[in-house]
Amino acid sequence: MEMIKLIASDLDGTLLLNKAQSLPEEIFPLIRQLKELGIMFVAASGRQYPNMTKLFAPVASEISYISENGALAVDRGEVLYQDSFDRKLAEKIISAIMAKKDAEFTCSAKDYHYLMPKTQKFHDHMLYEVKNECRFVNSMDEMTDPIMKLAVFEPGGITDESVKYWTGNFGKECVVVTSGNEWIDFVPFGTNKAKGIREYQKRYHISPEECVTFGDEYNDIEMLKAVKYGFAMAHSKEGVRAAASYVTERVEPFLEKLIRAKGNIEEVI
């Protein structure tokens, strides 16, 4: 009998469907029921940590986080680890983004994102729609905190062409990976969501056979492969589905079944 002890889920495209910016209400009681069964819930996203705690407000202090695509893990308020990005490389990437028509960037520090918006639309999108903690700056010199991650926002959507462009320019110096429809992330080599999963497994003596993960994008692949029960969303790209052991339409019905089975995964699959 295999009992699940950890569930990690991506947000955008997984728990947040159709570009939603708030979680379905049903997720909060499910997380509480999982906790009662001794199953920890980890939110794993390319998003910033303060933004994630806002999304999970009703249960924010009861769950753990892998944010910034694995660059930061926070376990019920305690920083488990924090990666840092090479500053010279960050400057190079930011210059390239500023030079590319319509492209915008976010630069991740632990408690906020540094932004230099080219348009009011992007400024408002990050502040009021995504609801990020933001610091608006005029130059790299004002970015004094350690940098964990960079991301480029392409308002027209990510194309194969833009993936080739960014990978071609920076793929030899860091990990370049799609993270949603309009975003490409740049993270240090070795940084991904699976790194966070492994840290939680180590800390709580949980094996890969006792974990379930959910994701829909290329930045979820390592996390889907790091556990026995990796679920790709049915709408995700073929490469993501191929990396997962299972496919699902939605996360919540699976959690409901697992709760009914009291954590026994064999009753669910």
Q: Kindly report, residue by residue over 30-54, the tens digit of the pLDDT.
A: 999 999 999 999 999 999 999 999 9
Quote the CA–CA distance of 202 and 95 in Å, as a whole number.
Answer: 39
6-82+191-267 — its CATH code?
Answer: 3.40.50.1000
Percent of the chain residues past pLDDT 90, beyond the cut? 96
* Residue 40, both tokens: 């920890």
Where in the chain do CATH 3.30.1240.10 domains reside?
87-187
DSSP conformation class of 4: P
Q: What is the DSSP string of 138-152?
A: SSGGG--SPP-EEEE
**N residues, the chain:** 269
What is the fold, at CATH topology level, of the domain defined by 87-187? Answer: 3.30.1240
- Is 254 a residue whose pLDDT tops 90? yes
Where in the chain do CATH 3.40.50.1000 domains reside?
6-82+191-267
Task: Give pLDDT, residue 1.
Answer: 82
Q: pTM for this one?
A: 0.91
